[in-house]
Structures are given as C-alpha cells and as structure tokens.
Amino acid sequence: MANKRNPDPKMLEMLVCPVSHTTLRYDAEKQELISDKASLAFPLREGIPIMLVDEARKF
C-alpha cells in the first residue's frame, strides 16, 4: 500500500523516463526513480514522483 514515503507500486509500473522512454527502477533508500539509460534520478516527494528533467539528478 502507498503512503507518504512509498509510492503506489501500480503507478510505478506505468511510469517511464520522459527522456529515454524506458522503464524506471525505484530506489527506496534515496526516494528516487532511476533511469539507467538517461543517467537521471527523479525525486519522489511524499510518495509523488517529480518527473521533470529540471528536477532530476544526473549521475
């Protein structure tokens, strides 16, 4: 079940990277959705993914 810290697993299955259009992996410790292909980490705030490239961390 989703709460303030954990996003809804069904929602995560539907999301893709807005840059590479590939699947994302969830990093629960960092509260980020990771796009390995685009080398971007999108933050989650209160369980809500922020899918803006300007908000993503490059790695």
What was the pLDDT predicted at 48?
Answer: 93
Residue 13, SS3 per DSSP:
helix
Closest CA to 29 of 55, 1, 5, 58: 5
User: Quick one: which of 31, 33, 28 has its CA closest to 12?
Assistant: 33
| Three-state DSSP class for residue 11 | helix
Looking at 3.65.10.10, 2.20.25.10, 3.20.20.70, 1.10.10.10, the CATH number of the domain 9-58 comes to 2.20.25.10
Given this model, what pLDDT does residue 52 score?
98
Q: What is the pLDDT of residue 27?
A: 96
d(CA 22, CA 16): 5
Q: Is the pTM of this model over 0.85?
A: yes
3-class state of residue 14 by DSSP:
helix
The reported pLDDT for the residue numbered 6 is: 79
Q: What is the pLDDT of residues 2-57, one digit of tens each?
A: 555 778 899 999 999 999 999 999 999 999 999 999 999 999 999 899 999 999 99
